[in-house]
Structures are given as C-alpha cells and as structure tokens.
Structure 1
Amino acid sequence: MKNRGQMMKDIAGSRALVLAATVAAVCACVSCPALAGTKLYSPLVEEGALEIEQRGFVTSDSKSSLDDEQFYSASIGYGLTDYWFAEIGGEWVRDPGTGKTRFDATKWENRLEIIGDGSHFVDFGLLIEYLKGGSGQPDKFEFGPLIEKRIGNTVTRANLLFEREIGAGRDSGLGVEYGAGIHYEFSDEFYAGLEAFGSLGPVHDFKSSKDQEHRAGPVLGGAFELEGVPGEIKAEIGYLRGLTGATADDTVKWMLEYELEF
C-alpha cells in the first residue's frame, strides 16, 4: 500500500497533467491587454471558502489620454475543492477622456492549486479566466502561472499572465502581463508591502520599453471581524506610480472582500 508521501506525489502529478491539458486546449483555441491589471493572485485555495469581492482602480495624469481611467470589478467565488476556486463576476471600465463608464465583460475565473502543501520550494498554481465581452467588446482568455513563497512573516508572489482576445474587433497576438509583490504580515489583521504590475505587449512583437505599461508602489491591507456577523472582512488600498511615459503617473487601487467559510 502506498504511503502518504507517495499518494501526495501521485495526486500532484495527476493535477499537473490535467492542468497542462487544459492550458494546451486554451492556447489552441486562443492579444494584448487594454490595461495592465492591479490584482496579485495567490496560488493557494481554501475549500469551502465563499468570497464576495469588489475591487478597482482610478488613474491620474496630466495627459488626457491617460487621466481618469477607471476599472471596477464585482464578483462572488467559492472553493469547490481543496485545489479549485471558481469565481464569476462583472467588470466595468471608464476609458480616459470619455467621462462614461461602460460594462466591459462578464468573467468566469478559475484558480487551480497544483503545489500548496509546503513540500516544494514554492507554492504553485494556475489561473484560467474567460471573459465574455460587453456590447462591442471582444471575448478574452487569460491564463498563466501563480507563484508564492513564504519565509516567516514575509510572503512573496509573482504572476505571469497571458491574454488573447477572440471574436470581432480582437487584437492580434498573445499579450503578456505580470504582477509581483512582497508583503510583510505584522499580524493576522494587518500587512504592508510593495507591488508592481505591467504589460509588455504581444509576445511576437514586444513593445519598446517606453511604450510598455509599468507601475509600482506601496500597499496596505488587513482583515477584521464585526461583532455578531460571521466571517471576516478584508480590505486593501495601494498607490502605484507610473514608471514609463505610457503609464499614468498615479494609480490608486483598492479591494474590499467579505469571506465566509462553510
């Protein structure tokens, strides 16, 4: 009879095989992101966790082409198993200079934990997301690896995400975004850190460095409970400074989440 260590390796191997096949299928049927994301994903999944989340960002810049870009997302997700977290929600965008906020997409997001038991050098997972575009907007696939390393109270994360638009009005090529950050947890209720995000352009023809989007800055976050209310509320706010001429000078981002375990 197999020991526990061998069983864990077999399970991890089976997950990796299934996920590799999924990624291959996505790539086979699958542009460059319209804007660089500002969410840093963890590969870890908690079974039975219900999450209701609202997040977004707004930019400020002296150039009208970069000023007052806004993004809003509202979603609900659930840990279906100890390695699969599924989320559904909507996204709204205000393009710079328009003064109008439009519905951009309905999203179905899946976060898959491949290695998360602490037996390897890093915890590793995969994000697979499908976005159904709003009126006049193309559909999108987004996928890529999620990496996390914990040393004491310090947590380091890195995401490398690929995006391809499909349907009418799509861009050509496979776009690349990244996110990276390091957080120090002062307690279970409070953390602070630095994060960076960027968009490199299409894989087959990366933009010149001055035309790429890169932004970085500090974040503060924490969790708290309300008396008589089950679960906990998590909140985060961050300021990101643009590092290139193609990036807005100032970006303020936030996240508010209610989490309940079943």
Structure 2
Amino acid sequence: AVTGWWKPELYVAEYKKEPGGQGKLVGYEFENTFQFTEPGRYWADVGLLASYGHPRGRGPGELELGPLIEKTAGRFDHRVNLIWERHIGSGASHGTEFRYSYAGTYALTSSFRPGIEAYGRPDDNAYQAGPVATGEWHVPGTHGNVEYRIGLLLGINPAAPRRTVLAQVEYEFF
C-alpha cells in the first residue's frame, strides 16, 4: 500500500478461457482500492474500487468503479461489491454495465477460510453462487504474503455459465 487508505495493484497478466475455447492472455490491469473508513471503527468498512484494464493488442479498455463494503464479526467476514463498468477507446460500446458480488467466509485459521461467493450481472440476467476457500501465508524472511482463493461457482439460471472454476494466487509485498 502507498498509504493507509490507498492500495494500488498492477496485474501484469490477465488470462481468460471461454467454455470450449483455448485460454489466452487478454490484457493488463491497474487497480486502485481506496479505504474511506478506519477498519473496525464503524458498522461496516467502506472503500472504493477504481481500475483500468488495458487490452493486449487492439480493442477498447475498461474502466471500473464502485463501492466496496466489508463487515467482520468475530471469525465471519462479509463483503459486498457494487461495480459499474464502461468500455473506453476504439470500438467501445456506449453502455455501462453493472455487476455485484457477495463473499462470506469463516476463519478456521488465517490460512484456511471456507465460505460462499455469489455473483450477479443483471444486464446479462446471469447469476452464480458456490463454495470457496481462501487463505493467506506469511513468507518467512520476507515482508510478503501469499494469498489464494479457489472455488466452484454454479449457474443459478439458464443465462449464467453452468460452472466457473475460480483459481487465484497473489504475492503481496510491502
């Protein structure tokens, strides 16, 4: 983090695989998270996501903006994200899309937090939910942590993908 309230992240490789297709590198992303409230001081912690995704090759980029709301109560952690996305640049559509997500986990340990995630894209009428596991380990002898998230989302309605596998590994250093 640059400050206690601003955390920029750079994703140097965004990989995407559509059902029945081959996976490919699709772009890069510069993401900024801003923390507006002091964690734990109010009923919920409130922040903002602002990011720009740059495509690999040609095509429009993406701007994303929206509030991030988190509530921790004992070992339970709840997160709600409300995100608006707009394509910009050559070939961009003129519409703004909305999506939301919910994540709830229970901390058995810092390295294992089982839970559930749910996603909605009202513009596409697509809704998914499923089990996840997340965790974090401190890398000994460094100022870094490894975080992971794995899960399986199932389509709730016909417009949603039937199954989506989540797999994310991050190395954070400060």
TM, length-normalised to structure 2: 0.89
Q: Which residue of 1 aligns with 2:130?
A: 217
Give the structure with the larger helix fraction. 1
Contact 1:104–1:137 (CA<8 Å) still a contact in 2? no
Q: Distance in 2 between matches of 1:108 and 1:85?
A: 11
Q: Deviations over 1:53-99 (max 9, x none)?
A: xxxxxxxxxxxxxxxxxxxxxxxxxx000000011123132334443
Q: Which residue of 1 aligns with 2:4?
A: 82
Structure 2 counterparts to residues 1-262 of structure 1, below 5 A: 79-89=1-11, 90-99=13-22, 101-201=23-123, 211-225=124-138, 231-261=144-174
Matching residue's letter, 1:219: V
Q: Distance in 2 between matches of 1:180 and 1:126?
A: 15
Q: Which residue of 2 aligns with 1:16?
A: none
Contact 2:110–2:137 (CA<8 Å) still a contact in 1? no
TM, length-normalised to structure 1: 0.61
Q: Deviations over 1:156-190 (max 9, x none)?
A: 10000000011222223110011101111112232
Q: Deviations over 1:99-122 (max 9, x none)?
A: 3x3332221110000012422211
The structure with the largest alpha-carbon Rg is 1
Give the unaligned 5+ runs of structure 1: 1-78, 202-210
Matching residue's letter, 1:235: Y
Name which of structure 1's ranges 103-112 and 230-239 shifts more when overlaid on structure 2. Answer: 230-239
Q: Looking at both structures, which has the greater relative contact order when contacts are Cα pairs under 8 Å and sequence separation is at least 6?
A: 1
Q: Percent identity?
A: 33
How many residues align? The count is: 173
Q: Distance in 2 between matches of 1:192 and 1:177?
A: 23
